[in-house]
Amino acid sequence: MTTDPIADMLTRVRNAIKARHSKVDIPASKLKLEIARIMKEEGYILNFKLAEEGSKKTIKIYLKYTPTNDSVISHLERISRPGCRRYVGSTDVPKVLGGLGISILTTPKGVMTGHAARKANVGGEMLCHIY
């Protein structure tokens, strides 16, 4: 049992990238599905699929690599942790790498990227940075 399932998800993806795997399996939750959806929409992964194996649900994330076999994701960083939550207001949502990366937030309007949160003028809990 992990105390921080989001950090566990990001670590599994990070380890699979270092091992050059084509896919990684992660225990499913609604928040992890939303994070995977955002990663697919922003072009950081090829695809994801929810699979049911008996009573357990898992998310299969298919990783994306460049033609030179480098990973599209070079950095995954967990920001808000269970021991130290980080919240940002609508005007304080940071740009990651000057706009080249994304930040993922949970807001009252759902899980969204930092760019979408600035556009919708909402703040929330800063989950992670990806670039």
pTM for the model stands at: 0.93
Measure the CA dihedral 15/18/22/27, to 10°.
Answer: 10
3-state SS assignment for residue 57: strand
pLDDT per position in the chain (131 positions), as tens? 678 999 999 999 999 999 999 999 999 999 999 999 999 999 999 999 999 988 999 999 999 999 999 999 999 999 999 999 999 999 999 999 998 999 999 999 999 999 999 999 999 999 999 99
Which domains, from first to last, does the chain contain?
5-130 (3.30.1490.10)
